[in-house]
Copies of this chain bind each other. A is one copy, B any other.
Amino acid sequence: ISIVGHSEKCLCSGTGISHFQLSRIKKLDVYPETPRCAKVELLATFVNGIRTCLNPKSPWVKRFMGKLLKKRFG
């Protein structure tokens, strides 16, 4: 799974990883769809410094976003 910049249009080529530990995510970059890239892209930075694309369709991602939304989003 390529991490960044392989397909000129989108940051992530391929689907991205689907399984990961929620607590290992230090930061998540969310790129909405744009004319340049017609899909939402999620680029995670893990606590060990590794940056990789997440599969937006993964249940783990939905759980992560759900947790965020519940946590301090009131």
Interface residues of A in 18-54 (CB under 8 A from B): 22, 25-34, 39-40
Contact A28 B29 (CB under 8 A): yes
A74 / chain B contacts, CB cutoff of 8 Å: 56-57
What count of chain A residues pass the 8 Å CB interface test? 24
Tell me the bound Cα distance from A69 to B57 in angstroms: 9
Contact B27 A68 (CB under 8 A): no
Binding site for B on A (CB under 8 A): 22, 25-34, 39-40, 56-57, 61-62, 65, 68-69, 71-74
7 pairs from A and B in contact (CB 8 Å cutoff): A25-B32, A27-B32, A29-B30, A30-B30, A33-B71, A57-B72, A65-B65
